[in-house]
Amino acid sequence: MAALPLNDDYPVRRAPVVTYGLIAANVLVYLLSPQAATAVWYPADMLERFCAVDAYFMRWGAIPDEILGRAALAEPLTPECGGIEGKSVWFSVLSSMFLHGGAMHLLGNMVYLFVFGPVVEDRIGRLRYLLLYVLTGVVAVYGHALVDMDGGVPMIGASGAISGVLGAYLVVQFRSRVTTLVFGVVPMRLPGWAVVGSYFALQYLLYVTSSTAPGGGSGVAYAAHVYGFIAGVIAAPVAFRWRRNSGTRLSDAY
């Protein structure tokens, strides 16, 4: 990762309980998942554990062919492990936002949420922030599904919803300065708009290049990042107008 945000200088006025709750939920789900070493109740045998992970992602991940109605249930990624029965396809759109493929995948997403989430939560209010997070995450899932060439592969990760938070941040608090670790070693204070703007530009570039490269996808849902970010940019002004129309002061917004 070329740049890693560490801190935003905006002084939040209340504890960002929704952001902390989302982070806790993501961490807890990962610790209980079969790919985590902490989940000792899953089989220790490597093949059985692999099948448990495969079944876990097939059940709780958002699979484009399923959510777009191209297949009732997608074929298992590993036929030897068997398929999934009784899956709630609509719920998988939500549950996929709390799944992560590994500890580094989880850590990278949670760092961005920890830095930018409290600012957006404070600026638009807790309820509106939670709705923005969920709705932009849903838009990200469907945006990815519409352009995905590997329709039977589960989509997992919170990055679509977090991209929505970054898009909202660009609207509500772009004047902040963000302490950022550049190239992993050099701390710099950069304008918030430059940090999130460069994030979007990079995701869009990676989406375009990966979708046009020979062989197709890269294994990363860049389209979800792009659509989630755009949804956040659109949703943030709506959240602001909702707050003003409700007659709620910023300091009292929930």
**CB-based burial label for 246 (10 Å; 0-12, 13-18, 19+):** exposed
Q: Give residue 229's pLDDT.
A: 98
For residues 47, 48, 50, 55, the Cα torsion angle rounded to the nearest 10 degrees is: 140
Instruction: Report phi then psi at 189, rounded to 5.
Output: -95, 110
Q: Give residue 253's pLDDT.
A: 35
Dist. CA 159–CA 114, nearest whole Å: 13
Contact indicator for 13, 121 with CB cutoff of 8 Å: no
Angle at alpha carbon of residue 69, lines to 68 and 70, rounded to 5°: 95
| Residues with Cβ within 8 Å of residue 208, at least 6 apart in sequence | none
Q: Give residue 247's pLDDT.
A: 53
Task: Dig out the tokens for 152 from the structure.
Answer: 């039977």
Q: Give residue 56's pLDDT.
A: 92
What parts of the chain have a pLDDT lower than 50? 213-216, 249-254
